[in-house]
Amino acid sequence: MPDADAWLTAFETDGLLRREGASLRTTKRWQAAMMRAALRLYGAAREDLRAPIAAALFDFYGDEIDDESLADAVCAMLPIEAAELQLDSRPAADSGAAIV
* pLDDT (tens digit per residue) in 22-79: 999 999 999 988 888 877 776 555 567 888 899 899 999 998 999 999 999 999 999 9
What pTM does this model have?
A: 0.58
CB atoms within 10 A of CB 19: 9
CA–CA dist 6, 29 (Å, integer): 19
Distances (CA, A) of 82 to 40, 63, 85, 90: 19, 26, 5, 13
Please, are residues 81 and 53 in contact by the beta-carbon 8 Å criterion?
yes
